[in-house]
Amino acid sequence: MNTSTDAHMDTGTGADVVVRVIYPSAAPDSTIEGHCEHLAIEFRSWIRNAAAAPR
């Protein structure tokens, strides 16, 4: 099992976000790589949604 923590703060022009993921030392590289890919897809989705949002 992994643990995710995040912190975010709205700014005048968007947001500052810090995301941390903590894995057990026995986690295989494939788990970590798969989660990295998942996060990249999520961030891309968030950025696209933010860019499309009415201002």
What integer pLDDT is reported at residue 55 of this predicted model?
Answer: 79
18/42: higher pLDDT:
42
Is the separation of the CB atoms in 50 and 14 below 8 Å? yes
Burial (CB < 10 A; 0-12, 13-18, 19+), residue 4, is: exposed
What integer pLDDT is reported at residue 54 of this predicted model?
Answer: 87
pLDDT in tens, 18-41: 878 888 999 999 999 999 999 899
What integer pLDDT is reported at residue 9 of this predicted model?
Answer: 84
Question: What does DSSP assign to residue 46?
Answer: H
CA separation for the pair 21, 35 (Å, rounded): 9
CA separation for the pair 11, 28 (Å, rounded): 37
Is the separation of the CB atoms in 17 and 6 below 8 Å? yes
What integer pLDDT is reported at residue 1 of this predicted model?
Answer: 55
What integer pLDDT is reported at residue 6 of this predicted model?
Answer: 65
